[in-house]
Structure 1
């Protein structure tokens, strides 16, 4: 699917935040990093799933190893819908 300009900008901004963080993570102490957390809030139908799927694709392209992504949502229906869209290759 093609992204709108605002979606491309959001995905790139989130991916850049992650890669910046990965190169200089926040440390609790010398051995313990604070995990990266990024949230995305937007109105229904604005393409949040598409933005986050593109973000993950960009992050994968920038890293030497595949990232582990924890994708969560408050609503069960949203989780099922997202899983179906990602599993089918829609995004």
Structure 2
């Protein structure tokens, strides 16, 4: 019998951007889901559970460095492994 590898605990704050100090590569080896106000979101770039916000891209708008412009949505945030 082979055991599934243990999943690391989800941090309070996590970012998709590898240059961010809140990026944890070990977490992204598994599929993650995010719920904001009991609705699952698929476009979340960064979240913070304790402060209750997620950052999502604002359409196709880019900032001056060529990265998507982010907007912050507030509410009840839940992170989970799928």
Query: Is TM-score (shorter-chain normalized) higher than 0.5?
Result: no
TM-score, normalisation: structure 2: 0.28
TM-score, normalisation: structure 1: 0.26
Report which of the two has the higher share of helix: 1
Greater RCO between the two (CA within 8 Å, min separation 6)?
1
Report which of the two has the higher share of strand: 2
